[in-house]
Amino acid sequence: MTQQDYLFDLEGKVAIITGGAGVLGSTIASYLLSQKVSVFLLDLNEELLQNAVAAMKEKGDIHGLVCNVLQKESLQNCKATILETHHKIDLLINAAGGNMKGANIAPEQSIFDMNMDDFKKVNDLNFHGTVLPSMVFGEQIAKSGKGSIINFSSMATIQSITRVVGYSSAKASVDNFTQWMSMEMAIKFGDGIRVNAIAPGFFVTHQNRAVLLNEDGSLTERSKLVMQKTPMRRFGKPEELNGVIHFLSSDASSFVTGTIIPIDGGFSAFSGV
Ligand code: NAD
């Protein structure tokens, strides 16, 4: 086999997916299992986690660990458990996150009514919840000199989205941290470690279903606006993240670091006019 044959090979890698019991995280997990990757789902929601692991256990080497990405000790315990049996970490996918209703500005409100506690909470989860796992698991990746970290950004960082103030600033911080961490890892720990982010467009999941769809499944007024600005005129399907995840996880992207890749049906490219 030539070096080219191994470009996209993921077999035998060990992956951690934070927020792994969620819609996007568990779809990615299922795909990575099909590529013979060992997968650890880390999630705060024990019930969702058990269901996700049960649904995928026939597909390969899958494990679920209850974990809070905002608590260093919880992350460290998970790291110890993973290393005990699997001895390495190749991939860290920081998918834990999402918007929170209280952190949005309601239609009858303005920025001057913003609830700072909710603003902090959404920044905590999305931003600190990316930084902390990157510190805990990234340290192990740095020791081995090879690995890939993939963060979750959002369309909310590219252009402003009405009402969504806290989540936007949190994900903008994730973008900045992705670039910073890519530099830190490459300069201090070598060119085998890469840090990138994906920026999904609009995918219907637990956290945004009520915003995007009416109870009868039709588009809300807000999602009609999303469609107007999405040249492909549809939501993304969770499986449509898998190609970029595979690329960023494999040696095919060995010189790619510090990037934020939109997966958005053209949303970020289109002015809307
Ligand atoms: P989801 O709600 O289905 O999944 C998020 C998961 O994170 C849940 O299982 C939840 O239990 C877990 N979680 C929450 N707090 C946690 C904590 N403190 N510790 C550990 N786990 C925690 O949402 P999703 O749409 O699958 O979101 C995955 C990622 O994709 C998020 O970062 C989200 O911001 C991002 N994203 C989603 C969209 C979209 O359209 N759905 C678009 C852009 C970015």
| Greatest pairwise CA separation for the chain in angstroms | 63
225 falls within a domain:
no
| Distance in Å, CA 19 to ligand 1 centroid | 6
207 falls within a domain:
no
pLDDT in the model for residue 207: 81
223 falls within a domain:
no
Q: What is the CA angle 94-97-102, rounded to 5? A: 165
64 falls within a domain:
yes
Confirm whether 31 is a catalytic residue.
no
pLDDT in the model for residue 1: 59
DSSP 3-state of 74: helix
Q: Is the CB of 19 under 6 A from ligand 1?
A: yes
12 falls within a domain:
yes
Full domain range(s) for residue 143: 3-201+236-260
Instruction: Assign residue 136 the CATH number of its domain.
Output: 3.40.50.720
93 falls within a domain:
yes
Classify residue 32 by its DSSP letter: H
246 falls within a domain:
yes
Global pTM value = 0.97
Per the residue annotation, which of 167, 189, 203, 235 is the catalytic one?
167
Does the structure's ipTM exceed the value 0.85? yes
Q: What is the mean pLDDT of each run of 10 residues along the chain (273 residues)?
A: 82 98 97 98 98 98 98 98 98 96 93 96 98 98 98 96 96 98 98 98 90 95 96 98 98 98 98 94
| Distance in Å, CA 98 to ligand 1 centroid | 5
Provide the number of structural domains found in the chain.
1
- The answer to whether the CB of 52 falls within 8 A of the CB of 64 is yes
40 falls within a domain:
yes
- The answer to whether the CB of 39 falls within 8 A of the CB of 28 is no
* Alpha-helical regions (H) of 59-125: 72-86, 116-123
* Alpha-helical regions (H) of the chain: 23-34, 46-56, 72-86, 116-123, 129-144, 166-189, 209-212, 221-228, 242-249
- Sheet of strand 193-200: strand arrangement: 62-66, 38-43, 14-18, 91-94, 147-152, 193-200, 260-263
Rounded Cα–Cα distance for residues 245 and 27 (Å): 11
